[in-house]
Structure 1
Amino acid sequence: MDRFLPCLARRLPPFALLVLAAVLAAPAQAADERALADDGDRLAAADGAPDVPLPAQPAPARFLQDSEVNEDILLPPARPQDDDPDRTWSRDYFGVAVGVISVPRYNGADDNRILPGFYVRGRVSGYSFSTRGTNLQVNLIRQRSGRRLDWKFGPLVNLRSDRSGRVKDDQVDALGKRKLAVEAGFSAGVSYTGVLTSKYDQIGARVVALKDISGRHGSWVVSPTVEYGTPISKRAFIGLSASVNIYGKGFGRYYYDIDPAGSAASGLPVYDAAGRKTTVGKYQIGLAGAYALSGDLRKGLALIGGLQYGRMASRFARSPIVSIAGDRDQWIAGGGVAYQF
């Protein structure tokens, strides 16, 4: 146990609600939300260091967007051999998680839908990668074995399909579908092991920045996240996270403003405030945990689960899509099974 906890703390990201990824059969979509996923930010087990859930997002018509949803679920990556103090780079691993997740029908909706989720993560020669919903990211900073301070930086690509299909709300559907957006950007962060409750807990901070490169909303999203996690025992882990999503003007205009034609078709009032300026559109807090069926969080089977509360804010919250047809309060919950080898 004395050797297990330090190793687990180094390999297990403090927390991470890792995304129950999107339905494989439906058209592609993406990310914040939260499939199985922080900035989640959501329990994701560490890639040698706490890997924070990427900001994620709510589920569009058929997918869960990781970039705005931080409901990540823990997926421990370390193996027993990582106890070897002479190893330079964190050991290679591969992990997968499957389960179900309940997400809003769109970001700001007043009801949820149940989606199946799938998540993959791995590390090769110290370089880690992960899929969260329709989001793919790679960490270009190699993970060193036994290091307490870990930096992360790398590119990510995201497909955003919010409202790209029917959301089963007559007024919102009458506004018309939104086209699939392709976003590219980066994720950067740092985590530190042994801070508050013991030598084995972890605290981390990260930021995810995405820019539309497909000409859909023509704008950007930035999501800073802070998170904390700790192994409770050899079998159990718990994590907390808090994040905020900041949107550019074009994003608000494309997804939350309503022009006269849209107003006439839907019966919702004309609204143009969401696209006037950069907006803090959503706050999120999350709780996630894992319990190893194999008896060791670093390998084998584990039960995973997470709960996230989000609150639509400012100009987005005042949009009729949210204030009339939807709800400011957004809940996401998920659970499943993870396996790592």
Structure 2
Amino acid sequence: MTFRFAALLAAPFALCSTLAPAADLGSLRTLRSPMMVQAETYVVTLTANGQFMPRFPGSDKLTGIGYPSLNIRRAGEPPRFAAPDDGFSISLYDEIPELRFGPVVRVQGGRYYSDDRRLVGLRKINWSVEPGIFLEYFPVSFIRARVELRYALNGAEGFVGNAGLDFIAPIDRLTLSVGPRLSFGDANYVRRYFGVTPAEAAANAIIPAAYRPGADVTAAGVLAAASYQWNETWGTTIYGGYNRLIGDAGRSPIPRLIGSRDQWIFGASVSYSFNWTR
């Protein structure tokens, strides 16, 4: 049984790649009675993460954040694969090693005038929290498919999701992974980040006309990562990803005239592991 948790120290996350790093709270099972409880040893992993991503969905400028993460698993259990762009999740079912599902949450950064002066006249969008569910499946040991469906609250409201496929290559202490990504959203979600009202178009000197997008696939891209376990204590990970805004999001004047349809993410982390007995 594995427990993994990550806590954010900075708010902004990019929409199209929803660049958030991987975190997994593992599986939750029924607690045993006090008479059955024996001392157990766990492996605790503390990780320091850093990431660069677009300042707002559709931006052509990058911003950086840093945050810690925590992973707890039983000693002797192999660590599960997790991609750097997975949402923060809890696995409620892992009786079949190839299948897992449970709740997930992501944080999406907002869009503010301070991000880019060319946004003058466009609405400010506060950060959003996106709770939902995830499903993960390994058809074979070196391929993982994962889908997340979430509902955004606060800055934006609407359904949003991500789908990805990872090809995993463990080579001794090195683990390489690469795979395609898709992002999608309903009409309310896409309009919040990529729509332009007539009043906004009149107030902005760059955007000539209103734009009303609908539900669509918003981005397609790829993510690659390399993790190296130096010893039982220390490990490092580096990763990079690219997403292209497509569909109604890609046709929006916000990325086309103010920002960019090309969205990049880069990140690295350092982890420290130790044993804990309770």
Structure 2 vs 1, CA of residues 211 and 184 (structure 1 numbering), >3 Å: closer, same or farther? Answer: same
Of 149, 161, 183, the residue aligned with 1:222 is 161
Q: Is the 8 A contact 2:125 2:156 kept in 1?
A: no
Equivalent residue number for residue 18 of structure 2: 69
2:245 to 301, 312, 320: 312
Q: Which residue of 2 aligns with 1:118?
A: 68
| Distance change in 2, residues 1:302/1:182 (3 Å) | closer
> Partner of 1:152 in structure 2?
100
What amino acid maps onto 1:110 in structure 2? D
Q: Could you tell me how far 1:117 is from its partner in structure 2?
A: 3.3
Q: Deviations over 1:287-341 (max 9, x none)?
A: 10012222xxxx3211210010111112111111100001111111111212233
Equivalent of 1:243, from 161, 181, 196? 181
State the partner residue of 2:35.
Answer: none
Aligned length: 251
Q: Does the C-alpha gap of structure 1 residues 70 and 333 become closer, same or farther in structure 2, counting only changes over 3 Å?
A: same
Q: Alignment partner of 1:324: what SS? A: helix
Alpha-carbon distance in structure 2 between the residues aligned to 1:254 and 1:111: 20
- Does residue 326 (structure 1) correspond to residue 259 (structure 2)? The answer is yes
Bigger strand share: 2
- Aligned residues of 1:19 and 1:72 also touching (Cα < 8 A): no
Matching residue of 1:32: none
Aligned counterparts of 2:194 and 2:124: Cα–Cα separation in 1: 12
Equivalent positions of 1:8-157 (< 5 A) are 22=8, 24=9, 26=10, 29=11, 63-64=12-13, 68-69=17-18, 72=21, 92-123=42-73, 136-142=88-94, 149-157=97-105
SS in 1 for 2:69: strand
Q: Does structure 2 retain, via aligned residues, the 8 Å contact 1:281–1:316?
A: yes
CA spacing shift, 1:120–1:167, aligned 2, 3 Å: farther
> Are residues 1:204 and 2:144 paired?
yes
The Cα shift of 1:179 comes to 2.7
Unaligned runs of 5+ in 1: 1-10, 12-17, 30-62, 78-90, 195-201
Give the corresponding residue for 1:255: 193
Q: Deviations over 1:265-289 (max 9, x none)?
A: 2222233232xx3211101201100
Of all paired residues, the percent bearing the same amino acid is: 22
Q: Deviations over 1:106-149 (max 9, x none)?
A: 121111122223223334799x9x9x8995421001357xxxx4
Q: Deviation at 1:242? A: 1.2
Give the 3 Å change call, closer, same or farther, for CA 160–99 of structure 1 in structure 2: closer
- What amino acid is the match of 1:283? A
**1:114, 1:20 → 2: CA distance?**
17
CA distance in 2, matches of 1:123, 1:210: 26
CA distance in 1, matches of 2:107, 2:147: 18
> TM (normalized to structure 1)?
0.64
Q: Which amino acid aligns with 1:168?
A: D
RMSD: 3.4
User: How big is each residue's C-alpha offset from its partner over 1:60-96, in whole Å with a ceiling of 9 and x where there is no partner?
Assistant: xxx2358833574799x9xxxxxxxxxxxxx854323
Residues 289, 305 of structure 1: 8 Å contact kept: yes
SS at match of 1:245: strand
1:269 corresponding residue in structure 2: 208
1:190 aligns with 2:127: no
Distance 1:328 1:193 in 2: 34
Q: 2:228 aligns with which of 265, 285, 291?
A: 291
Q: One-letter code of the match for 1:162?
A: G
Q: Per the alignment, do residues 309 and 240 of structure 1 end up closer, same or farther by CA in structure 2, a change over 3 Å counting?
A: same
Which letter maps to 1:313?
I
Long gaps (5+) in structure 2: 27-40
State the distance in 1 between where 2:134 and 2:246 align: 24
What letter matches 1:249 in structure 2?
A
Residues in 1 aligned to 2:188 and 2:107: alpha-carbon distance in whole angstroms = 17
The offset of 1:176, in angstroms, is: 2.9
Whole-Å Cα distance in 1 between the matches of residues 5 and 208 of structure 2? 35
Is residue 340 of structure 1 aligned with residue 267 of structure 2?
A: no
The structure with the largest alpha-carbon Rg is: 2
The one-letter code matched in structure 1 to 2:104 is L
